[in-house]
Structure 1
């Protein structure tokens, strides 16, 4: 068997056999297939897609390239939630304590952000002393105690995905739907769970810019899950404006805590409640999602969900008292207020621009080696559909270094598109696919 023949076969839109996929990936992982040949194969996939059978084998092999985490000592219904990422996406920080309060266990690998703002790990690492589990034993120990099992990605888990993603990043093959699906699902299958709930963001601030591509991605990931005998549900949620009002790591921790106190933004609450209700439905506790909202309200209003977050922070080395004392979190030294230059109604927010405006002041990474400043960020005061008067505050920038603040301000002003007629509020949950 020769690698060049497999590249040619995929180039000609022929289906690779199970043995051929095994040979290709195993040899690449061993270092026997040069990057230029794997790049050619990835580009062939980009143009010619993968069949259902190919994609399942490809994903399964990626999963099996490293460790698989089991939760044998945790007697809980395990939920693995994944988001494709967006601006102000603090859903996991709010959702995990709610699930724990409802009696679930969270089983999730979390990542650091690249571009826009930080990932879930970056948000929690805004808390001094907080340390994510590095081993499955640590993960299981904390998950058993708190019901929240979050762990950072490790070189031992799906190493093939890490190797392939680095190559995709420099060969313009990142947007391939089968390659995205296999990357996400290989990591989901590498950790034990009873249900996988995928939050696929759609819109300007998301990787998937339109709903048709998002639906196709959802379909492929569900197919992989079915092949692996896993229950998979998908929420398509709107990323045509930032989620909530805060962007930046410490800022988003505060907004998450406020949401757990019942003071959160409507859009954050809707996404979180939808995912939590889907978990309740998957477990068989409810038949319709609306039944779940009352249960979720109970654990929020009673303070149980907030206490679960406090416990998780304490168990992870941080100071859980920050849930009532935000001064424990890092704060930026300077603040710049941004005022509207015109009257009108917010018709659109260029969400990716807001994300970039946060990134250039240090809230995110342009390159993997960039260091995040957890204290900086942006707060917006107007959402799509809101009326704005000339001179009214649109946003605030929290910063420590003046270097890119002027550019950040201009990007925020440019991101707000005003019109004379009132625009309808954005729909937050666009569709649920089960």
Structure 2
């Protein structure tokens, strides 16, 4: 077999055979297929698509390029959740300990932020001493100690995806649904979880801007998980406005701790509890403590403290704070009719909370704290949001990102419901 044959097949809108897919993924991982050849194939896939069998074969080939984790020694079911990313999406932080408090083990491999979307690992690294990199043995130890672990994926997990992910980012092929779905699901299936709940975001602050596109991605991923023997369900959830009131690393940790303490913004609490119930159901855990009660009685907080401590963090240490703040005031009195999620995420990024390249550092204390959400009444001159940054010169660019991002009028615009749809096999 050779790469040109495989490229031509997809260029000419033919199905790739299982043998072709297995060969090209293996050869690319070993360096036999060059980056420019895989770039051409990725573009052909973007333009001409793949059917369910091809996507499943592509995903399994990427899983076979590395190790597959095994949690069979644990005495309770495992459950995991994956979000496609958004602005203020800190749900993993309260969710993992909450589900563990209700009876499942939660092995959660997470990533870092890039561009306007935040990364779970960046948020947790704002906690003094907390470690993202764990060996497989350390992961198992933390799971047994705390019930949940949130850490970085090791280099042995789906290495073909790691190479292809970097290539897609620089070749204009990120938007391909077969490649998005197989990238996410190859890592999640290799992670070895018994069940998986997907949170597919929809709106300006999400990768998928429309409900039909998000539904197609969700259905594709649910099919991949089901075909691989992982119980998989997906929720389509709103990202046309930020989630919660805090956007930024330490700021989101603080808000997550509020949720674990029985408070926090209503939308964060609602989505956390709904996803927890979905995870418990997918894991086959019945008759467990209801997640809403586990937030109220402190048992989820107990797991959080054990989890953070087991990974070297100090759950009692003060969180980093940015050196400078600036208040953005409401331009008039009335109802906050609109607050664009993408613009807020972009502002937080420019304040230092995010990165443009994977190797860039992030500021733990930078970000945006909202004082109103769409539908809230505001008065002229009242604080609408507070910007946090380590350097005052960052405020100008953040304010540029927010130009036209919010409006005050007589009534709020129609918004997506927080939970739009549920996708099952």
TM class, shorter-length: over 0.9
Superposed CA offset, 1:57-114 (max 9, x none): 1000111111111113221211111010100110000101101110111022111111
Partner of 2:334: 344
SS of the counterpart of 1:348?
A: strand
Superposed CA offset, 1:231-259 (max 9, x none): 10101110011100001111100000001
Partner of 1:251: 251
Counterpart Cα distance in 2 of 1:315 and 1:109: 16
Please list every run of 5 or more consecutive structure 2 residues that lacks an aligned counterpart in the other structure.
none
Partner of 1:408: 398
Partner of 1:105: 105
Tell me how far 1:11 sits from its aligned partner: 1.2
Counterpart Cα distance in 1 of 2:313 and 2:297: 23
Partner of 1:304: 299
Tell me how far 1:425 sits from its aligned partner: 6.2
Tell me how far 1:297 sits from its aligned partner: 2.0
Counterpart Cα distance in 2 of 1:136 and 1:249: 26
Task: Please tell me whether the aligned partners of residues 112 and 122 of structure 1 are also in contact (alpha carbons under 8 angstroms).
Answer: yes
Counterpart Cα distance in 2 of 1:27 and 1:64: 12
Superposed CA offset, 1:177-198 (max 9, x none): 0000000000011111121111
Task: Please tell me whether the aligned partners of residues 133 and 139 of structure 1 are also in contact (alpha carbons under 8 angstroms).
Answer: no
Partner of 1:142: 142
Counterpart Cα distance in 1 of 2:284 and 2:309: 32
Counterpart Cα distance in 1 of 2:179 and 2:407: 34
Task: Please tell me whether the aligned partners of residues 384 and 426 of structure 1 are also in contact (alpha carbons under 8 angstroms).
Answer: no
Counterpart Cα distance in 1 of 2:239 and 2:155: 30
Aligned with residue 381 of structure 1, among 349, 371, 376: 371
Partner of 1:325: none
Superposed CA offset, 1:124-180 (max 9, x none): 100111112421101000011100122202221111111001111111000000000
Superposed CA offset, 1:289-321 (max 9, x none): xx98x8112211111111111111111111122
Moved more, 308-317 or 385-394: 385-394
Task: Please tell me whether the aligned partners of residues 385 and 425 of structure 1 are also in contact (alpha carbons under 8 angstroms).
Answer: no
Counterpart Cα distance in 2 of 1:318 and 1:169: 33
Task: Please tell me whether the aligned partners of residues 196 and 282 of structure 2 are also in contact (alpha carbons under 8 angstroms).
Answer: no
Tell me how far 1:118 sits from its aligned partner: 3.2
SS of the counterpart of 1:332?
A: coil
SS of the counterpart of 1:78?
A: coil
Q: 1:117–1:26: structure 2 CA closer, same or farther, 3 Å change rule?
A: closer
1:354 aligns with 2:344: yes
Counterpart Cα distance in 2 of 1:407 and 1:343: 26
Moved more, 178-187 or 401-410: 401-410
Counterpart Cα distance in 2 of 1:353 and 1:422: 18
Counterpart Cα distance in 1 of 2:164 and 2:183: 9
Counterpart Cα distance in 2 of 1:245 and 1:370: 25
Counterpart Cα distance in 1 of 2:306 and 2:285: 25
Partner of 2:51: 51
Tell me how far 1:214 sits from its aligned partner: 0.5
Task: Please tell me whether the aligned partners of residues 361 and 376 of structure 1 are also in contact (alpha carbons under 8 angstroms).
Answer: yes
Q: 1:425–1:183: structure 2 CA closer, same or farther, 3 Å change rule?
A: closer
Tell me how far 1:423 sits from its aligned partner: 3.9
Task: Please tell me whether the aligned partners of residues 81 and 279 of structure 2 are also in contact (alpha carbons under 8 angstroms).
Answer: no
SS of the counterpart of 1:197?
A: strand
Superposed CA offset, 1:13-42 (max 9, x none): 111111111111111111111211111111
Partner of 1:335: 325
Counterpart Cα distance in 1 of 2:112 and 2:207: 16
SS of the counterpart of 1:185?
A: helix
Task: Please tell me whether the aligned partners of residues 133 and 150 of structure 1 are also in contact (alpha carbons under 8 angstroms).
Answer: no
SS of the counterpart of 2:237?
A: strand
Tell me how far 1:334 sits from its aligned partner: 1.8
Equivalent residues in 2 for 1:16-415 (5 A)?
Answer: 16-286=16-286, 295-322=290-317, 328-415=318-405
Counterpart Cα distance in 2 of 1:334 and 1:151: 30
SS of the counterpart of 1:337?
A: strand
Aligned length: 424
> What's the TM-score, normalizing by structure 2?
0.96
The CA RMSD over aligned residues, in Å, is: 1.6
Q: 1:206–1:265: structure 2 CA closer, same or farther, 3 Å change rule?
A: same
